[in-house]
């Protein structure tokens, strides 16, 4: 078995606010007058997840805070063998909260740029919007995304019980201006949420999508259209959407001919990393190095990276696979 830490990886589904090192959060919190406990609470459902997110948001206030977490994201991802990442960030929500719509995004972009230079990783941003929030904020998210070339996509996140239909005009406008669209769907809710995301929602990838197997016709459609799934096994288990890693549908999704990419979602909140996810898949489903390389290549192909980046990553993965362990 080859070293999974050295496997060149693309990471497509990870939320910046949920990557913050706990020590960093405590330092930022102290500087901003927010009390942060010694360690994270155990996630067991969306209630505890939202509570953790609220704590992180309360701590992030100054440009330096946002620059730091973006820079450290680059450091931590690079250390896991990630060569390319598309990281999600709720830019408009932070901007409205702090009374400066542009500042959080600008600071994150500065941190990513510095981190890329320091750690040799390539990063792009996806601006997400909570389904629970207003259409007006979604338009503001789109306006922010249009201003920066490093932003490659926007999309819906949050509790899928809230419908996506009110936002369809926003995402049609995003596609019309050349932005990609990626929605969370098919995790908490069933195939209907996936159909909405791919139809009126204009999505090109599905965040999670694990409940697609409930509808064989939808499986066939998504397979034929080549829509990738951003699968996050440990997160699905931690939040109660899969009973265990052993029962996770990832192998059945692949067996159905669907494009599966492997991701972390909220790594700091569930004590995982992308290398850990690959390790879990290898150990739980007895995947060999060829299968793991196929997962890595699927993420590269599903990404919105430039063609040269994709070519370089494919070559690096092939080199990893053909080098004697």
CATH number, domain of 143, equals: 3.20.20.140
Distance of CA 42 to the CA centre of its chain: 20
- In the chain, the DSSP E strands lie at 9-15, 82-89, 122-130, 151-157, 180-185, 205-208, 228-231, 259-262
Q: Is this prediction's pTM over 0.85?
A: yes
Domain encompassing residue 38: 4-322
Helix (H, G, I), strand (E, B) or coil at 137: helix
Strand partners, 295: none
- Could you give the number of structural domains in the chain? 1
Active site residue 169: no
pLDDT tens string for the chain (325 positions)? Answer: 899 999 999 999 999 999 999 999 999 999 999 999 876 555 655 566 667 888 999 999 999 999 999 999 999 999 999 999 999 999 999 999 999 999 999 999 999 999 999 999 999 999 999 999 999 999 999 999 999 999 999 999 999 999 999 999 999 999 999 999 999 999 999 999 999 999 999 999 999 999 999 999 999 999 999 999 999 999 999 999 999 999 999 999 999 999 999 999 999 999 999 999 999 999 999 999 999 999 999 999 999 999 999 999 999 999 999 998 8
CA distance 295 to 290: 9
| Catalytic choice (72, 187, 189, 277) | 187
């Amino acid at each position: 078995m080859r070293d999974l830490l050295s496997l060149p990886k693309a990471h497509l589904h990870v939320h910046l606010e949920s990557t913050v090192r706990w020590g960093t959060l405590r330092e930022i919190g102290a500087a901003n007058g927010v009390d942060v406990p010694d360690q994270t609470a155990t996630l067991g459902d969306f209630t505890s997840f939202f509570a953790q997110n609220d704590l992180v948001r309360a701590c992030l206030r100054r440009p330096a805070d946002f620059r730091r977490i973006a820079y450290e994201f680059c450091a931590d991802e690079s250390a896991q063998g990630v060569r390319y990442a598309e990281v999600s960030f709720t830019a408009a929500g932070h901007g409205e909260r702090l009374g400066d719509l542009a500042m959080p995004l600008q600071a994150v972009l500065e941190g990513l740029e510095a981190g890329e230079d320091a750690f040799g990783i390539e990063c792009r941003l996806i601006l997400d919007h909570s389904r629970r929030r207003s259409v007006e904020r979604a338009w503001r998210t789109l306006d922010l995304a249009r201003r920066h070339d490093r932003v490659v996509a926007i999309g819906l996140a949050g509790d899928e019980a809230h419908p996506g239909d009110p936002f369809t005009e926003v995402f049609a406008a995003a596609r019309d201006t050349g932005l990609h669209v990626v929605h969370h769907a098919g995790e908490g809710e069933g195939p209907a949420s996936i159909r909405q995301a791919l139809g009126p929602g204009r999505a090109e990838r599905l965040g999670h999508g694990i409940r697609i197997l409930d509808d064989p016709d939808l499986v066939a459609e998504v397979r034929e259209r080549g829509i990738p799934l951003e699968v996050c096994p440990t997160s699905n288990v931690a939040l109660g959407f899969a009973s265990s890693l052993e029962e996770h549908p990832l192998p059945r999704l692949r067996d159905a001919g669907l494009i599966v990419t492997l991701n972390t979602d909220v790594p700091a909140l569930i004590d995982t990393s992308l290398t850990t996810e690959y390790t879990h898949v290898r150990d739980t489903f007895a995947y060999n190095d060829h299968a793991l390389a196929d997962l890595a290549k699927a993420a590269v192909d599903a990404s919105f990276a430039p063609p040269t980046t994709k070519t370089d990553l494919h070559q690096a993965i092939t080199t990893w696979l053909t080098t004697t362990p």
